[in-house]
């Protein structure tokens, strides 16, 4: 869409002609002397102004190469009639025309001037000069109401409506808990041991290897104390007796020794005890009971602690929809 820009176009709007009676275009009747209707500059300038004003009112600059601007302007203005910039719209499918998804995206300020005028940088300043951020609806959360304009756009942490979980651990006072064990009557406890069958218990000793048992005999001598030997042929004589003279005898061993026992072992055997059982008897103890004492603990209380569970956000169940913002 563009304004007339041929060489004969006037740079400023010409003065309007005096209006006549409202009517309709006609091609005229040459034979009857009825002239054809000529719109004139007033009418064309009015139509041109209506069209260009519609396009520019939608926020679009006139573009000579775009022949769909009037259609886009009509659609945009229709949406504006339904929504106002900054209004939240819920969609069951995709973002509706004239709205943007509330996903925190960064968008140009010049493309959405009216929306920027309403929300500004409340949801983020974008790059700080040419862009700004759309509201961010966190996944799974809902839009909640507030009466304060100062906290619009602030995420809440979620809260559970005030309620209580009743629990009581009142003092019970000094008391006892009765426990009784009844007599079991005269009885016995049976016990038995199974037959072991005919069997033997084996035993053995290790071989000691080839060895001997040595005996050490150092030998010894016998000393005879008596008169000195005489010169007689019998050994000694009375005539030859003199003071005693110690005379030694030759040493001699006993010649005792032990033979090797050879490599051997000592086998030990045990005969089978035959097929038998061992009787075990448990005598009856007679009619009796076992006494138990359960003493009171005194007046006291039992503390109860209920721990929290779950996350920070309060996420209700519901149908998922899209929150969009009109621009």
Report helix, strand or coil for 225: strand
Question: Any residues with CB less than 8 A from the CB of 234 and at least 6 apart, and which?
Answer: none
Q: What is the CA angle 91-96-97, rounded to 5?
A: 170
Residues 107, 132: contact at Cβ < 8 Å? yes
Greater pLDDT, 221 or 139: 139
Residues 131, 115: contact at Cβ < 8 Å? no
pLDDT tens-digit map of 168-211: 766 777 777 777 777 777 777 777 767 767 766 666 666 666 66
Mean pLDDT of 26-36: 91
What pLDDT shows up at residue 325?
Answer: 95
Residue 107: band (very low, low, confident or very high) from pLDDT cuts 50, 70, 90: very high
> Residue 60's CB: how many other CB atoms inside 10 A?
16
For the chain, what are the domain ranges?
1-8+37-82, 83-142+316-327
Residue 88: band (very low, low, confident or very high) from pLDDT cuts 50, 70, 90: very high
pTM for the full model?
0.41
Residues 259, 212: contact at Cβ < 8 Å? yes
């Amino acid at each position: 869409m563009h304004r007339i820009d041929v060489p004969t176009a006037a740079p400023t709007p010409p003065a309007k002609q005096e209006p006549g009676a409202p009517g309709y275009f006609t091609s005229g009747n040459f034979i009857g002397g009825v002239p054809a209707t000529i719109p004139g500059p007033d009418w064309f300038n009015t139509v041109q102004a209506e069209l260009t004003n519609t396009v520019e009112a939608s926020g679009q600059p006139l573009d000579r190469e775009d022949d769909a601007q009037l259609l886009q302007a009509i659609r945009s203005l229709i949406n504006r009639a339904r929504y106002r910039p900054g209004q939240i719209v819920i969609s069951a499918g995709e973002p509706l025309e004239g709205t943007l998804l509330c996903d925190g995206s960064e968008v140009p300020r010049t493309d959405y001037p009216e929306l920027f005028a309403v929300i500004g940088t409340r949801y983020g300043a974008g790059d700080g000069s040419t862009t700004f951020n759309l509201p961010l609806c966190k996944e799974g959360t809902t839009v909640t109401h507030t009466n304060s304009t100062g906290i619009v756009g602030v995420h809440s942490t979620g809260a559970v409506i005030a309620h209580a979980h009743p629990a009581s651990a009142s003092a019970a006072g000094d008391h006892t808990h009765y426990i009784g064990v009844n007599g079991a009557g005269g009885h016995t406890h049976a016990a038995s041991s199974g037959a072991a069958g005919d069997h033997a218990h084996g035993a053995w000793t290790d071989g000691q290897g080839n060895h001997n048992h040595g005996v050490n005999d150092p030998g010894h001598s016998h000393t005879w104390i008596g008169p000195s030997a005489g010169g007689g042929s019998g050994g000694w004589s009375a005539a030859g007796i003199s003071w005693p003279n110690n005379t030694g005898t030759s040493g001699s061993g006993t010649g005792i020794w032990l033979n090797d026992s050879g490599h051997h072992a000592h086998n030990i055997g045990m005969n089978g005890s035959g097929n038998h059982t061992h009787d075990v008897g448990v005598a009856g103890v007679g009619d009796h009971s076992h006494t138990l004492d359960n003493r009171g603990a005194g007046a006291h209380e039992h503390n109860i602690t209920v721990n929290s569970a779950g996350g920070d956000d309060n996420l209700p169940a519901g149908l998922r929809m899209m929150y969009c913002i009109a621009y």
